[in-house]
Chain A
């Protein structure tokens, strides 16, 4: 047994060292939702926005937000975030995206860890759905699905985020203006 351990010690150590970043990355991706199923909408849309900001870039960006007023709030809001991913489509006519497109996102948010928050509305027309990924008491991520006849937007924030201040992120770091309004009410499950 001792010989086995001695023979395997070094290779195991190397394997663990090499695999650690992969495992850490995989864990951080838990609340990352896959949006590539929507790529085909790009050719139908009049306006497409695709944003990918990972943790390293967020850390860098946080340095340029000042410690005063709204900028301080945004800085605090993004402090623990590990990624911001956005796909947004605007169309010239109705019916350019299908319920299957919406379902490709919603189906990922039906997992046991995701909870739909009912106390969000949008100042704009259309439907706004906000989902939170909870790991016990901790918030692990957030997804916003905003749809109307001619618009389809998905925002995915990976990592802990203060949902009450979500609207502060609109217009920052590629997050579009969705007119998010938070009402202080009880949160309900789906």
Chain B
């Protein structure tokens, strides 16, 4: 009788441990998954009813943003991001006039399972929104910077070395802006 109880207890504990182990493995798998960059772009498109311009379209149109992004991808204008690591989506001359708090909630819900929100700033009652998320990617870090103003928006995902991530943490707002600018502003170089 006593042995039976002990065996049952041991079985229960084993089941509990297995469940914990499964939960642990599932968490790791969730963290490893997914292209959240595209999810964020889609979320912006759906929420605001806008459409992003791809880099080839922008380059064809001779817009500075496209050519610069292309050059960064080739590594010529690279300063902060690692070579070939930039993902960029640009929304230009469109209306981002919906109430932002719902968007903020949706964005955080979509990303916080796998990304850490580093800094979020909202200015002008939602007229300017900046969100910076990060996550580990091997020995580097993925950083996702989302900026939205009344007419334009940018989503940039870059790989950062630990040193550049440290710069981002030291001055999150300044370095976040620098990442977006590096990806979108023409460099006379």
Contact = CB atoms under 8 A, between A and B. Distances in A.
Contact of B172 (A7, A47, A51, A62): A51
B101 to A, nearest CB: 5
Contacts of A19: 20
A47 B170 contact: no
A51 B101 CA distance: 17
Contact of B101 (A8, A43, A61): A43
B40 interface: no
Chain B interface mostly: helix
A19 B17 CA distance: 10
Nearest to A7: B10
A46 B119 contact: no
Contact of A45 (B20, B122, B163, B169): B122
Nearest to A49: B121
A174 B173 contact: yes
B14 interface: yes
A175 to B, nearest CB: 10
A34 interface: no
Contact of A63 (B6, B121, B162): B162
Contacts of A48: 120-123
B170 A64 contact: yes
B52 interface: no
A interface residue count range (under 10 / 10 to 19 / 20 to 34 / 35 or more): 35 or more
Contacts of B185: none
A125 to B, nearest CB: 21
Interface string B1-21: 001001101100110110011
B125 interface: yes
A42 B104 contact: yes
B172 A54 contact: no
Interface in A4-30: 4, 7-8, 11-12, 14-15, 18-19
B10 A11 contact: yes
Given A43-B125, A174-B119, 19 more contacts: A14-B17, A18-B17, A19-B20, A42-B122, A43-B100, A43-B101, A48-B120, A48-B122, A50-B120, A51-B118, A53-B118, A54-B116, A61-B166, A61-B170, A62-B166, A63-B163, A64-B167, A173-B170, A174-B173
